[in-house]
Structure 1
Amino acid sequence: MNSNAAPFETEASAFSAWPYLTYLSVFLFIVLLSYQLTPSAMGYGTHEQLGLPPCGFLTITGYPCPSCGLTTSFVHFAHGNLAASLSAQPFGTCLFLVLVILAFFTVWAIIKKIPFSEVMNSEYMEWGQYGMLFLFLMSWGYKIVVMKIL
């Protein structure tokens, strides 16, 4: 423990920029990679440009998987096409926006020296996870309707 730390401060609550810098690096990688890809006209399958196989869930069941169109949505968003991003996978659009907001928050947290553990253990984080899960499931329903019913 740091000898200059307050008696109540633990290592878990000590500030470290590394988790934030790691997030920013991953975020930047995702944005740059998304910008380099070409979105699939089908609204899904863009991930195959990365050497990944076609969606096994879709191949076996004929129904889209919960993340069907996520990569395509990210690629559209990275290219500035918000409407196509929403059409490909609404959750992808929401997730991309959340990642952008978190990137700005990350810079702010580094400047303010907010311990990463405080952020991860906050009530906002818990509610945010529930909200994202809800959006994820609703977007899956959307993809099923668009790909199988319409």
Structure 2
Amino acid sequence: MIQPRPSDILFSSGMNESTSPTPTFASPATPHSRLPALAIFLSCLILLAVGSYLSPTFGLTEAFNMPVCGFKLHTGLPCLTCGMTTAFTHATHGHLLTAFYTQPFGAALAIATAAFFLISLWSLITGMSLAPLGRMLGSRKFIIPLIAFFILAWLFTLVTNFTPHSG
């Protein structure tokens, strides 16, 4: 009898008749089944490369000569995504505390991007399915806390970066 490799085992979220979790075995990987992992791997690689190329001392507007955020221009307050690129860039440069202080959600996105980079690389090498991860990321148990964290990170940014509007 051939024993499966550890990378072939995917733990299902379902239960069998005896209500205990049972491992299910992945079908052999095909080049087609590795396409999602390749797409995620390349996307994460590009994001991490751009983040490490940019200087964390400049935000997105300065780095790409973009106009100032309209929300901030009119209200004097940072918008929901203000500081995310700077935080992401700080994180890719290894300045995690500074990244979290700048914009906690942006720092978490950088860490998640690095994690997805490694997971997708492992999937490319071993043929491990990313379907269980996709199901988890699409679940309400993940999405609702993610939205709450996004809003809390914005509130943190409002408190730490508040500058009164001078107009």
Which TM-score applies when normalising by structure 1?
0.75
1:65 maps to 79
2:5 maps to none
Q: Where in structure 1 are there 5+ consecutive unaligned residues? A: 1-13
Contact 2:91/2:111 (<8 A) preserved: no
**1: CA distance, partners of 2:74 / 2:97:** 29
Could you report, residue by residue, the CA deviation over 1:55-113 in whole angstroms, capped at 9, with x for unpaired residues? 11111121111111000001111111112111110111111111111222212333443
1:39 maps to 56
How many pairs align?
A: 132
Please report the RMSD computed on the Cα atoms of aligned residues, expressed in angstroms.
2.3
1:123 matches 2:136: yes
**1: CA distance, partners of 2:34 / 2:64:** 31
Q: Aligned with 2:33: secondary structure? A: coil
Q: Map 1:96-115 onto structure 2 (within 5 A).
A: 96-115=110-129
1:3 maps to none
1:85 matches 2:99: yes
Decide whether aligned partners of structure 1 residues 112 and 131 sit closer, same or farther in structure 2, where only a CA change above 3 A counts: farther
Which TM-score applies when normalising by structure 2?
0.68
Decide whether aligned partners of structure 1 residues 128 and 98 sit closer, same or farther in structure 2, where only a CA change above 3 A counts: farther
1:148 matches 2:148: no
Q: Aligned with 2:55: secondary structure? A: coil
Q: Where in structure 2 are there 5+ consecutive unaligned residues? A: 1-29
Larger Rg, first or second structure (1 or 2): 2
**2: CA distance, partners of 1:112 / 1:26:** 19
Determine what percentage of the aligned residue pairs are the same residue: 25
Contact 1:16/1:116 (<8 A) preserved: no
1:25 maps to 42
Q: 2:109 aligns with which of 89, 92, 95?
A: 95
**2: CA distance, partners of 1:87 / 1:71:** 13
